[in-house]
Chain A
Amino acid sequence: MPQYSQNVSDQIMKSGSTGSGLPWRLLVFSFVIFFLSILTYFALGFGYSGYLESRIVAKDQEIKDLAKNISPESQNVFVDFYSRLSNYKNIFEKHIYNVKIFPTLEKITLPSVYYTNVDLNVASRTMVLSGSASDFESLSRQLYLYDREPMVEVYILNQSRMVEGLVNFRVTLILSPKLFEKS
């Protein structure tokens, strides 16, 4: 029992002393927080940010050094290969296939019609045909064949006249771009 009384009185004394030291402890705590803030600011501003900046510089240098890891021989080969392949692709995409031109013309020409002059311009897809037909009926049937041919987009009869028993004519065909594409 006396022991119990002793502890209670101690506790009463301690709580009394705590109440009197509270502002002082708060002040210390505030100072600690203040110095910690200052310390954090300097640590971030001059320590960590400097470290991060040095890491960025080092990484940039490593990126620059990477190029040295490719041998000059393979660099040249690849650059030249890439350039030539790209140019080849660009040119080949516009390659003109001409093997269908004359077989198509043969297919849509009547036996009673023959040509004396063929002028072809691939860029404008125009073919000017000069020729002779046995008569006007043959010429009209010939024009009908141009009309039906899918590879002929438009045709224009520029001229036709009877000369020495034959009908001389000149016709302009606007050809389909498909005629110059790979079949």
Chain B
Amino acid sequence: MSALIIYVALVKPEYNKIQDLRGRVKSSSDFYNAQAQAVDYVNNLYAKNKIDIEQTQKDLVLALPDQEEVANVVFQIQRISALNNISIDSVNLDRLPIQQKSTNSLIKNHSALRISMKLAGSYESFKELLKFLESNVRIINLGTLRVYQANELEKGIFNYELVVDTYYQVK
């Protein structure tokens, strides 16, 4: 009778606790195995594709640099305009607020640089310029656009006011 009491009062709860501990050991082991596999995978992936990853990373840095790189933006706009025979009247830059932080802590914030431009040139050249902006390595998104003719004496030459956004990753 006392053995039965001991079994019910002591051994049974202890056995339940042991079952719980064994479950925890198993889940810890499973988690460890999964993590170990992931670590091996990352190490192998990095070893095998080191060159590809570094090259892709370099391309990504061109598309989404670590800072505003204002000089680079102005240079790109100047080159695109010159290639398409478009003259630049003015370029103004504004820093937009940093985008809301991602819930994933591994993803850094990013922000945009707003570029307001006044340009002049032929309509066909301007269409080509839009193509260049669209396919530029550094991502450029069109915000607003205005086309008008300020000087009616200059036939075929139009004025353009463009507002575009380009992006960068915040360190």
Chain A residues with CB under 8 Å of chain B are: 30, 33-34, 36-38, 40-41, 44-45, 48-49, 52-53, 55-56, 59-60, 62-63, 66-67, 69-71, 74, 77-88, 90-92, 94-99, 101-103, 115-123
Q: Knowing A34-B2, A56-B28 are in contact, say whether A81-B60 is a contact too (CB < 8 A).
A: yes
Of B24, B54, B104, B167, which one neighbours A86 at CB under 8 angstroms?
B104
Interface contact B53-A56, CB-CB below 8 Å: no
Residues in A neighbouring B56, C-beta threshold 8 A: 81
A-B contact pairs, 30 of them (CB 8 A): A33-B3, A34-B2, A34-B6, A41-B10, A44-B14, A49-B17, A49-B21, A52-B24, A63-B32, A67-B39, A69-B39, A70-B42, A74-B43, A77-B46, A77-B53, A77-B57, A79-B106, A81-B56, A83-B169, A84-B64, A87-B64, A87-B108, A91-B64, A98-B134, A116-B149, A119-B145, A120-B145, A121-B144, A122-B141, A123-B143
Residues in A neighbouring B77, C-beta threshold 8 A: none
Any A CB within 8 A of the CB of B93: no
Of A45, A82, A87, A118, which one neighbours B14 at CB under 8 angstroms?
A45
Residues in A neighbouring B143, C-beta threshold 8 A: 121-123
Q: Nearest-CB distance from A35 to chain B (Å)? A: 9
Interface contact B130-A91, CB-CB below 8 Å: no
Please report the C-alpha to C-alpha distance between residue A28 and residue B68 in the assembled complex, in whole angstroms: 88
Of A63, A85, A103, A115, which one neighbours B31 at CB under 8 angstroms?
A63
Residues in B neighbouring A98, C-beta threshold 8 A: 130, 133-134, 142, 145
Interface centre among A52, A79, A87, A115 (most CB of B within 10 A): A87
Any A CB within 8 A of the CB of B155: no
Q: Which of B1-53 contact A (CB under 8 A)?
A: 2-3, 6-7, 10-11, 14-15, 17-18, 21-22, 24-25, 28-29, 31-32, 35-36, 39, 42-43, 46, 53
Please report the C-alpha to C-alpha distance between residue A162 and residue B131 in the assembled complex, in whole angstroms: 37
Chain B residues with CB under 8 Å of chain A are: 2-3, 6-7, 10-11, 14-15, 17-18, 21-22, 24-25, 28-29, 31-32, 35-36, 39, 42-43, 46, 53-54, 56-57, 60-61, 63-64, 102, 104, 106-108, 110, 123, 127, 130-131, 133-134, 139, 141-149, 167, 169
Interface contact B146-A119, CB-CB below 8 Å: yes
Residues in A neighbouring B7, C-beta threshold 8 A: 37
Please report the C-alpha to C-alpha distance between residue A166 and residue B138 in the assembled complex, in whole angstroms: 44
Interface contact A48-B18, CB-CB below 8 Å: yes
Residues in A neighbouring B133, C-beta threshold 8 A: 98
